[in-house]
Structures are given as C-alpha cells and as structure tokens.
Amino acid sequence: MESRASRIQHTSLQQAAHWYVTLQDVDCPAVLQEQWRDWFEQHSEHRAAWHYVERVGEHFAPLRDQAPQAGGALRQTRAKGMSRRQATKTLMWLGVGSLVGLSGWRASTLTGWTADLATGTGENRKVRLEDGSELWLGARTAVDTGFDTRTRRLDLRFGELLLQTAERDTRPFIVRTECGELEVASGTARLGIRQQESHTRLDVYQGAVNVCTTHNDRRQQVLADQGIDFTPSIIHSPTAAQAAGESWTRGVLAAEAMPLSELVDTLSRYRHGHLGYAPTVAKLSVMGTFPLGDTDQALHLLEAALPVRVRRLTHWWVNVEAA
C-alpha cells in the first residue's frame, strides 16, 4: 500500500484524507457532498488517492462505532468540551491523516537519503561547489551533483534551490528536474528553482537560462528578471521573476499573488508535523512576507490577511480552512 501512495502526489493524498473525514459526519450537507464529487471526478489521481485513503480508513472504522472505548485520546478531547461526534471525527482525522502523511514523508525522505546533498525539515544549507559556484538548498531538498571535464550538472530530486554560477568556468551548467532540463545560456547566472508537485518554477535574477521539457522537448529562453512555470510537456508564458525564489535564503517567504496551497506547502517544510489546507482555500491569492523560522507567526499573519482560520487539533496537526 505504501508503494502505491508514493506514486500519488502528496497534496492529492492530503485532500483525499480531508474529504474522507468530512464525509464521515452523518450531518454532512449535500453541498459538501457535491463538492467532493466534483473533486473526485476532476482527475484520475484524485480517484486513486481517494481509493487509497478509503483502504487506510478501514483501519480506523471502529472509532465510528466504539468511540467510548477509543482510549485516552478520546477522553482528553471530550474533557475539553468536544462532543462525542467531534471527538470521534478528530481521531479519525488524526489516524487517517497520519498514515497518509507518513506515506508521503517516507516517499520523499527515503529518496533523499541517497542524494549527494540534502536538507531536513527547517534546514537551509549553503554549499560552495567544486567549480566555485554557490548553491543554497531550501528545507527538505535533495540534489545530486555531476561534474566532469565537459559539463556541470545538478539533479534536483525535490525541494528548492538557489544557484549563483561561477564567473570563469565556461563549461555548460545544467540543472535537471522531473519536468525538464535547464541550461545556463552563457556567462554567469543567478536562478531559483522550486519543484512543485505538478510543475517546476524557475526564476532568473541574472543571466539567461534555456528550458527544455522532459516529454516533448519544448524550448524557451528565460531572461533576467523573468520567471516561468513548466510541466514535462508545457511551458507557460514568462512572468516577472518572483522574490520568493530567493527570499527564503534570508529566512522569509515573500509572497506575490502566491496561491495559498503553495505558501502552506512551503511553510510545511519548515515545520515538524502535519500542516495542510482545505481544498476550498487552496487557490486563494496571498500577498505579504512570512517568517520561515516562526511558522506559528506566519500562520497568524495568514489568518489576518485572508478569510481563513488555522485549525489546530494539536501542535503537530494543523490545517488551514475557510473562516
């Protein structure tokens, strides 16, 4: 079961876990059931994630019928004034979500163990490469290096990086992601690369970078102060380079019309435990500067800026929902 989960995007698994627990409520309104159906039909991966979570949820089905015997955690939640239904739903959410989250964590962490360079939760790292280039790795990032007499290469397995290439080395510098290949066009360059679940984000701050997609060799040159999003088969039109591509090296995330889903995914790499979001708030646009070293403060700022609330089941299990 775990091997199948590793092939499903973690965000899809989080969303499926959210819907699974939501639909356990006998009073779940019809409008939410329709929203779940829309989500379910939206993508084949959503359906795969749902079926996986259903199987995980079977392990916690007894909680629905045996809440009084659910143990100390249930008694603690009821002692805080929660109803039996709320307490049972909380345990279902913790149980299902924990297994889903663990599957995603294992999938990324196990592949990171064998990388040449890697960082953990909340860890940023600066490395000087053998050619003199400077490389910054964001939290939960894994990179392989490959330097020979003809080329310099980095393979970004997951996470994000900021690269400042050396001035005097004339060998081509290539960075590979799961969506494509990026090559510094000429001279020196400064670029930020972030691997999202469905696409790669490139921001160029100096020089120029040539992009080639994995599946169909689509090509695009990205100039200084430009940025693009691309998938294995599509390159979107260039936009202005985002400050977020390098602001994290200074301990802050500068969001400029950033989707809430992307902001929360970034914050989650700087926080132990589960930090997720409801599908209904995923596309909200976020503006502002958020501290990466204090994710609680960042979440407080998010609540102040948008019509959302941060639901804390425990310090280790936090979800951003509609207010």
Each residue of 209-265: pLDDT tens digit? 999 999 999 999 999 999 999 999 999 999 999 999 999 999 999 999 999 999 999
Neighbours of 42 (CB within 10 A): 11
As a whole number of angstroms, the distance between CA 92 and CA 17 comes to: 10
Q: Name the pLDDT band for 6 (thresholds 50, 70, 90).
A: very low
Pairing of strands 173-177, 152-164: parallel
**Per-residue exposure over 237-272, b if at least 16 CB sit within 10 Å of its own CB, e if not:** ebeebbbbbbbbbeebbbbbebbbbbbbbbbbbbbe
Q: Which residue has the higher pLDDT, 244 or 198?
A: 244
pLDDT in tens, 157-167: 999 999 999 98
Q: Which of 92, 74, 101 is nearest to 23 (CA)?
A: 92
Cβ(290)–Cβ(248) below 8 Å: no
**Residue 211 pLDDT:** 97
Mean pLDDT on 137-149 = 94
**Residue 295 pLDDT:** 96
CA atoms within 13 A on the CB side of 241: 21
CA dihedral of 108, 114, 117, 120, whole degrees rounded to 10: 40
Q: Name the pLDDT band for 67 (thresholds 50, 70, 90).
A: very low
**Residue 31 pLDDT:** 85
Beta strands of 102-241 (E only): which ranges?
A: 117-118, 125-128, 134-137, 142-147, 152-164, 173-177, 180-184, 190-195, 200-206, 208-213, 219-223, 226-230, 239-240
Residue 187, helix vs strand vs coil: coil
**Residue 101 pLDDT:** 56
Question: In which region does residue 249 sit, left (phi positive, over 0), alpha (psi from -120 to 50) or beta (all else)?
Answer: alpha
- Domains of the chain, residue spans: 2-113, 117-245, 251-322
**Residue 8 pLDDT:** 61
Mean pLDDT on 108-131 = 83
CATH architecture of 251-322: 3-Layer(bab) Sandwich (3.55)
Chosen CATH of 117-245 out of 2.60.120.1440, 3.90.70.10, 3.90.1150.10, 3.30.70.260:
2.60.120.1440
As a whole number of angstroms, the distance between CA 33 and CA 20 comes to: 11
Neighbours of 322 (CB within 10 A): 12
Percentage of residues of the chain with pLDDT beyond 90: 55
Mean pLDDT on 166-179 = 92
- The answer to whether the pTM exceeds 0.75 is no
Structure tokens belonging to residue 90: 């909380």
Cβ(197)–Cβ(189) below 8 Å: no
